[in-house]
Amino acid sequence: MGGAAGRPPRMGLLPLSLLLLLLPALPMETADEQRLRRLPVIFNFGDSNSDTGGLTAGLGLLLPQQEGRAFFHRPSGRLCDGRLVIDFLCESLNSSYLSPYMESLGSDFRNGANFAVIGSCTRPPNVPFSLAIQVQQFLRFKLRSLELVAQGTKGLIDAEGFQNALYAIDIGQNDLAAAFSANLTYAKNLYDNGGKNFWVHNTGPLGCLPQKLALPRKNDSSLDPYGCLIPFNNAAKEFNAQLSGLCDELNSKLKNATIVYTDIYSIKYDLIANFTKYSFETALMACCGYGGPPYNFNQRMECGSFGSKVCPLGSKYISWDGVHYTEAANAIVASKILTTKYSKPNLAVDYFCTA
């Protein structure tokens, strides 16, 4: 018989009515899957430990060329040779780095914003860029975002995004006494404005900073076995004990809120006490500064000043400039945070960003 008769019949397009009948059988995205697909949203408040460019954008400053050399290969607004702890936490969430709130060019606020500014304190409250000002900036950011979303603007954080966001607070190193009460006061303010997930860092071992160790002293009787100043560390530990207690109190008082207290002090002190275990060359000497051993820090000739020296690229130092940590040290601090062993309650960062 003819060839045409031997061929199988050609399949035409399925009628629309049949397609509509088949649609319910197709796998549908669940509510949990939709939440997982949402971009993690983080709002960060703090000082130089987590500033990703706020001060340089706000005041138009140019940082020395040494800053950012290990990763960004240019000054990035961070007081570090590379990434900060907040950067590594963003990486763990597969999220882009937080854009500084005051950066007008190239910012991406889909995953939150960074309000932290170098040198920020908690007192006095109305001086830029105190924690109070940072919170006010956030409230304006939220109001403006929701206004634009209501007008149909795409790609901005909506009401659900603000409600489920993680609010990170890392401030206090510049004014311990005032910061004790202020940290939680402003956490309460954020809670009253819809926030429910808070990540609070305590302060690190201030007595181990080359900046403090380089201060004149009569003898070494105030040093602990690892070479850190006991009085400064005792002050930090007292601050942290009270901060921990306040976090516990707010966790019990604020309905549907979770406040995670993270013990940065223990992480950083372990890093210094066991620096050889982590393959660092030195625990208490700044990579970038002036004066050489034992601390390479001079208040009148800080990192980037004319005449200051910087350690060779690839060196393993804990301290970058006598006050701030190197990228290598920040990477270890972030990895310890992510284990949840140093957090109370033991919750991971991604718990908030996928729940």
- Residue reference for tokens 């306040």: 246
- Count how many residues are written for the chain: 355
Contact 208, 226 (CB under 8 A): yes
Check if 73 is active-site.
Answer: no
Separation of alpha carbons 205 and 209, rounded Å: 7
Q: Considering only CA atoms, give the Rg of the chain.
A: 25
Rounded Cα–Cα distance for residues 247 and 231 (Å): 24
Q: Residues 50, 319, 321, 343: which is the catalytic one? A: 321
**Is 321 tagged catalytic?**
yes
Structure token digits, residue 292: 């050489």
Stretch (H or E) spanning 143: helix 131-150
Strands 258-262 and 343-344: antiparallel
Q: Cβ(203)–Cβ(269) under 8 Å?
A: no
Any catalytic annotation for residue 87?
no
Q: Which of 48, 130, 308, 343 is catalytic?
A: 48
Per DSSP, the chain holds a count of helices (H) and strands (E) of 13, 10
Catalytic pick among 99, 130, 308, 324? 324
User: Which residue bears the tokens 């990486």?
Assistant: 91
Residues annotated catalytic, as ranges: 48, 321, 324
